[in-house]
Amino acid sequence: MTSAAEPKNTRARIIDAAEAEFAENGFGGARIKNISSVAGVTNAMIHYYFNSKEELHRAVLVRMVEDLVQLVKEIGPQPIPPLEKLEIFFVSFFDYAARHRNFSRITSMETGHDNQEYFISLIEEHLRPLYGDAREFIISGINEGIFRDVNPDQLLTAIYAMTVTCFSDSPFLDVLIGESTTTSKHVATRRDLLMQMIFRMLLIDPPE
């Protein structure tokens, strides 16, 4: 007997496999047979859930955006001090980037059809308002004398770059450093270091 959760789990496995395949080979080079093999399903099962490769690609994009939106919604309204909120948000965003290591590879690719436009519409509708909230959080902290007088756009894009690219560029970094940069120990050390860097950049009185 199939459990009620099985369809959701199957769909999630397909999207997981598709995310990796699109990141590795781009939209044009991605193959449904590769996705089905990694997901442990048949090609027919993929077509049962998704009518086309374009629709599957959109599902990957939507999940990436939905996960990030949910993360911010859970943290943003919390009535906690700015320093604590900053730390919770960064750790959560870092963990998000670790879960979606292919984010920048997938979102920077030209797909050759309207999925690029579709992703832009997702950014404008869902992510741009969240970015505006993060920007206002930085400005508010500056006005309250908690944060240094920094350019919020430069700060936020720097945080994005140093968090996301350390996962998306891990194959290059592995060769450069000479060891895996995605082990749990390496990732935990990097997260702590980046958090300290952000505190030093942003806080007038960073914690010791």
What tokens does 6 get? Answer: 């099985």
Indicate whether 31 and 64 sit together in one domain. no
Number of domains, the chain:
2
Q: What span, in angstroms and rounded, lies between the C-alpha atoms of 10 and 46?
A: 9
Q: What is the CATH number of the domain that holds 175?
A: 1.10.357.10
How confident is the model over 74-92, as pLDDT tens digits?
887 778 888 888 888 899 8
| pLDDT average, residue stretch 96-102 | 85
Residue 41 within any structural domain of the chain: yes
Are 81 and 144 a contacting pair, CB within 8 Å?
no
The predicted-structure confidence for 136-189, as pLDDT tens digits, reads as follows 989 999 998 989 999 999 999 999 888 888 888 888 899 999 999 889 999 999
CB 191 within 8 A of CB 91: yes
Q: What is the pLDDT of residues 12-53, one digit of tens each?
A: 999 999 988 988 888 888 899 999 999 999 999 999 999 988
Check which CATH number belongs to the domain holding 28 and give it. Answer: 1.10.10.60
Say what the pLDDT of residue 71 is. 83
The answer as to whether 198 is a domain residue is yes
Query: Residue 168 has which token pair?
Result: 């998306």
Whether 71 and 170 map to the same domain: the answer is yes
Domain of 1, in residue numbers: 1-50
pLDDT at 109 over 50: yes
> pLDDT at position 7, please?
54
**Same-domain status, 106 and 135:** yes
Do the domain assignments include residue 105? Answer: yes
Q: Residue 146 domain-assigned?
A: yes
Confidence (pLDDT) at 167 = 86
Look at residue 208 and tell me if it is in a domain: no
Residue type (1 letter), 116: Q
- Which pLDDT score, from 0 to 100, does residue 43 have? 92
What pLDDT score was predicted for residue 8?
56
pTM score, whole prediction: 0.78
**Domain co-membership, 10 together with 76:** no
How far apart (Å, rounded) are the C-alpha atoms in residues 12 and 26? 20
73 has pLDDT over 50: yes
- State the average pLDDT for the chain: 85
pLDDT at 3: 43
Q: Is the per-residue pLDDT at 115 higher than 90?
A: no
pLDDT value, residue 76: 75
